[in-house]
A and B are shown apart, each in its own frame.
Chain A
């Protein structure tokens, strides 16, 4: 044990020494504010002690208050034991109204304009063709939905059990939590976008510019690994609303859906709705041939 502690401290020393040396080369940090310095040296979320997490949260909250004039509540709540979140989507019910898309944007503090960032993509597919997404229309805009010749397929991060995006990240900035959610430490991401190239579901989006959210549009109830305000040039993704589901609520898209298309629950609970659907309906997952093991199940109830 003592040996292990020694190792950690040496590692930390090296890290600090290296970072100081580097900063001397790259950044005139001495002239920076204390806050900027702390942000620069901020550790990876998984490597922070509870004490360091608290200090980081405090700093971020102060930072957000100064920047946006709002008091944010940043949670770092961990996974609830014995949970593995799974999603069900009834393709026979979806009418393609995109209410889920906008509920998600509002809940998760996504950039509203220039450019608008969305985590959910609703595809319009001509009846008779499903697997070949090459003919999918992402930008359909009819006066009224649903349209007689089409079905709609919403796609978002599938929270893969075997996520290719996590495998390729060169700095461990993204990982799978114990409850199966794939998350990003927005303060550790270097913005290389390798994960975006690796995702077969277009599950990841990038903050190409500073996210633009109006001062009255902020949702101040946030999670460190989820919907807290992001900066420009980092990657972003759906977390099944980690800030909600870890506190016993449904994801915003599930609540917003007017047709009951969207189902959600704990895959480890045999009595959950999602387990019932997997058992009783004929479900499938997108691109199963890639062995990504998504926890997002599509089915046709009718």
Chain B
């Protein structure tokens, strides 16, 4: 292993947050979930918010293969490999967020079919366990296969790769749909019990996922010899503009239905957007999210701001944060407020939840960094089996 000083600094920083997260997770295991700010009234919080968001990111990373193919982004093979490895890293994070949310992680084997007793097909959480693990497997097999082939100096067999890539595309839609249905199917929570949910989830995923990819591609082309053209980034940004429009439109459609009909089911949305009876913790957050999303929409819509890297990157950051608030805490938490018997409990994550979450994000980024550390030299042709080495200047 070798690399510039910045690489080691980055890895050490991530390692620091991982260890810190682990420390707080052990505290949570020791005390029980009372160590968090979740309670009976709001029984899911920051962890499940992050889970929901990351499933979207994972889905979008693969769906990016479609425009890459249609618009002939170069280099397509690299885009597929990087996209799928980012999807795999995101799924690992998503699964870890569910894992740390479990009260009894020692019993997670109850979820394994045959060994435990998975409640398939009636529980949507059982569906999620299956589709997420399947997706993880798929997104590890494809890039690993391509990379191993390249390492041995051979071209990957398209008859093996292309069907798997084609399966992973509907599968990506599937994981996010199942995650939306997880909430959607609960009649007890009117805020989630809206059919618009799955389309909304997909639309917002198509914003945050590609926004991350745009930033990542810029880093990767700086540290490698990949020639990812600006025009590809601008095209992705244009697609984000359409997805963001759809996302904001669907949110507005939901808001219209609730506000105009004005039934008791409006309560959660009103709590989110305006506050309810003096309870308004989420109000500044959601308006920040909506303004970020709107600003990003215009940045990506106007050719001048879309095609200038500083504004493009600003748009990406606004999208990543805006969508995180909107479909993370801005979606999960108001589903619980007010409770089914009208109870008001305002939730704000505490430092334990915060550090455990940061730890998981750091772990995901570290996994992705290490993936890239191996994948990039192979893709560049600099890291191959000694037998196929044409040029000895690089040795791992």
Show the binding face of A for B, using Cβ within 8 Å.
Answer: 11, 14-15, 18-19, 22, 26-27, 40, 44, 47, 115, 121, 123, 132-136, 138, 155, 164, 167-173, 188-194, 196-202, 204-210, 232-234, 290
Given A115-B34, A170-B111, 5 more A-B residue pairs with CB atoms under 8 Å apart are A133-B341, A134-B342, A169-B119, A190-B107, A194-B125
Q: Which 5 A-B pairs have the closest CB atoms?
A: A191-B103, A233-B103, A18-B115, A200-B188, A232-B32
- The listed residue (A121, A132, A206) touching B33 by CB distance below 8 A is A206
A202 touches B40 (CB 8 A): yes
B33 touches A171 (CB 8 A): no
- The listed residue (A15, A171, A193) touching B43 by CB distance below 8 A is A193
Given contacts A11-B114, A14-B114, A134-B342, contact A191 B109 (CB under 8 A): no
Report the minimal beta-carbon distance from A98 to chain B, rounded to whole angstroms. 15
A169 touches B43 (CB 8 A): no
Given contacts A171-B118, A197-B189, A202-B341, contact A192 B32 (CB under 8 A): no
Q: What 1/0 mask marks residues of chain B from 369 to 384 whose CB sits below 8 Å from any chain A CB?
A: 0000000000000000
Given contacts A123-B342, A233-B104, contact A172 B114 (CB under 8 A): no
Report the minimal beta-carbon distance from B102 to chain A, rounded to whole angstroms. 5
B114 touches A234 (CB 8 A): no
Complex alpha-carbon distance, A9 and B215, angstroms: 53
Given contacts A138-B343, A170-B119, A199-B340, contact A193 B110 (CB under 8 A): no
Report the minimal beta-carbon distance from B356 to chain A, rounded to whole angstroms. 15
> Contacts of A204 on B, CB cut-off 8 Å?
40
- State whether the Cβ of B194 lies closer than 8 Å to any Cβ in chain A: no
Instruction: Kindly report which residue of chain A lies nearest to residue B336, judged by CB atoms.
Output: A197
Instruction: Kindly report which residue of chain B lies nearest to residue A40, judged by CB atoms.
Output: B106
Complex alpha-carbon distance, A135 and B118, angstroms: 39
* Total B residues in contact with A, Cβ cutoff 8 Å: 50
A18 touches B112 (CB 8 A): yes
Report the minimal beta-carbon distance from A182 to chain B, rounded to whole angstroms. 15
B32 touches A207 (CB 8 A): yes
- State whether the Cβ of B44 lies closer than 8 Å to any Cβ in chain A: yes
Show the binding face of B for A, using Cβ within 8 Å.
Answer: 31-34, 38-40, 43-44, 98, 101-112, 114-119, 122-126, 129, 182, 185-189, 264, 267, 335-336, 338-343
- The listed residue (A40, A192, A199, A205) touching B125 by CB distance below 8 A is A192
> Contacts of B118 on A, CB cut-off 8 Å?
170-171
- The listed residue (B109, B182, B339) touching A22 by CB distance below 8 A is B109
Given contacts A170-B111, A191-B33, A191-B103, contact A197 B43 (CB under 8 A): yes
Report the minimal beta-carbon distance from A149 to chain B, rounded to whole angstroms. 17
Report the minimal beta-carbon distance from B207 to chain A, rounded to whole angstroms. 26
Report the minimal beta-carbon distance from A292 to chain B, rounded to whole angstroms. 8
A190 touches B123 (CB 8 A): no
Can you list 10 A-B contacts (CB < 8 A)?
A18-B109, A19-B109, A22-B109, A132-B342, A170-B119, A196-B40, A196-B43, A206-B103, A208-B39, A290-B188
Report the minimal beta-carbon distance from B32 to chain A, rounded to whole angstroms. 4
Instruction: Kindly report which residue of chain A lies nearest to residue B124, judged by CB atoms.
Output: A168
B341 touches A188 (CB 8 A): no
A164 touches B103 (CB 8 A): no
B264 touches A197 (CB 8 A): no
A173 touches B110 (CB 8 A): yes
Complex alpha-carbon distance, A173 and B336, angstroms: 23
Complex alpha-carbon distance, A189 and B187, angstroms: 23
> Contacts of A197 on B, CB cut-off 8 Å?
43-44, 186, 188-189, 335-336
Instruction: Kindly report which residue of chain B lies nearest to residue A133, judged by CB atoms.
Output: B342
Report the minimal beta-carbon distance from B137 to chain A, rounded to whole angstroms. 17
B103 touches A232 (CB 8 A): yes
B109 touches A210 (CB 8 A): no
> Contacts of B339 on A, CB cut-off 8 Å?
202
> Contacts of B125 on A, CB cut-off 8 Å?
168, 170, 192, 194
Complex alpha-carbon distance, A191 and B39, angstroms: 13
Given contacts A135-B342, A190-B110, A193-B44, contact A172 B117 (CB under 8 A): yes
Report the minimal beta-carbon distance from B56 to chain A, rounded to whole angstroms. 19
- The listed residue (A123, A167, A192, A200) touching B101 by CB distance below 8 A is A192
A22 touches B115 (CB 8 A): yes
Given contacts A193-B43, A196-B40, contact A201 B340 (CB under 8 A): yes
> Contacts of A26 on B, CB cut-off 8 Å?
106, 108
Complex alpha-carbon distance, A11 and B113, angstroms: 10
A19 touches B43 (CB 8 A): no
Complex alpha-carbon distance, A106 and B214, angstroms: 59
> Contacts of A19 on B, CB cut-off 8 Å?
109, 115
> Contacts of B126 on A, CB cut-off 8 Å?
170
Report the minimal beta-carbon distance from A168 to chain B, rounded to whole angstroms. 5
B115 touches A168 (CB 8 A): no
> Contacts of A115 on B, CB cut-off 8 Å?
34, 39
A168 touches B123 (CB 8 A): yes
> Contacts of A134 on B, CB cut-off 8 Å?
264, 267, 338, 342
Complex alpha-carbon distance, A155 and B339, angstroms: 13
- The listed residue (A18, A27, A173) touching B114 by CB distance below 8 A is A18
> Contacts of A234 on B, CB cut-off 8 Å?
103-104
Instruction: Kindly report which residue of chain B lies nearest to residue A201, judged by CB atoms.
Output: B340
Complex alpha-carbon distance, A207 and B34, angstroms: 8
A167 touches B103 (CB 8 A): no
B340 touches A200 (CB 8 A): yes
- The listed residue (A136, A171, A191) touching B117 by CB distance below 8 A is A171
> Contacts of B107 on A, CB cut-off 8 Å?
171, 188-191
- The listed residue (A155, A172, A198, A205) touching B186 by CB distance below 8 A is A198
A132 touches B264 (CB 8 A): yes
Instruction: Kindly report which residue of chain B lies nearest to residue A202, judged by CB atoms.
Output: B341
Given contacts A123-B342, A134-B264, contact A190 B32 (CB under 8 A): no
